[in-house]
Amino acid sequence: MEYNLALQSISSKTSKDLSDRVQIQAVLFISGGMRSTPTAACEIHTNIKPLGLRRDAAVMNVVERYTGSDKSHPNRQLIDTWKPTGRLKQKSVMDIATYLQEKLYLPNNRENLQHF
């Protein structure tokens, strides 16, 4: 479920719903809840975050990691030169990251990553 969460954020609503349903069934099984048990209660009981929140966190993690890398790094150059395309339905990872940055008021001053 954790693999490629950043790319899962741009998948269709149907595929997101399918993976969410798998997690809901697993959380119900882990917590011993019945089918009528609210999902939020089971997630709190098992201390498992909803996939939607984990997808958003993965997108922000990827963008922040590439933003903090060297300016000569190819992924940093992609992020620095990215421009929105204005697609109607499908959004890119950067579209989602831009939306989340506006929603969460993240700082713009970042330090470069130091590799050991």
Among the listed residues 51, 53, 61, the one whose alpha carbon sits nearest the alpha carbon of residue 97 = 61
Structural domain contains residue 16:
yes
State which residues form the domain around 37.
5-104
CA atoms of 20 and 24, how far apart (whole Å): 6
Q: Is residue 85 situated within a structural domain?
A: yes
SS3 breakdown of the chain: % helix, strand, coil, rounded to 5?
60, 0, 40
Residue 113, in any domain of the structure: no
Domains identified in the chain, total number: 1
In a domain, 37, yes or no: yes
63 domain-assigned:
yes
How many whole angstroms from its chain centre is CA 32?
A: 28
Query: What pLDDT tens digit does each residue of the chain (116 aa) get?
Result: 778 888 888 888 898 999 999 999 999 999 998 889 999 999 999 999 999 899 999 988 888 888 878 888 888 888 888 887 776 677 888 888 888 888 887 777 766 667 66
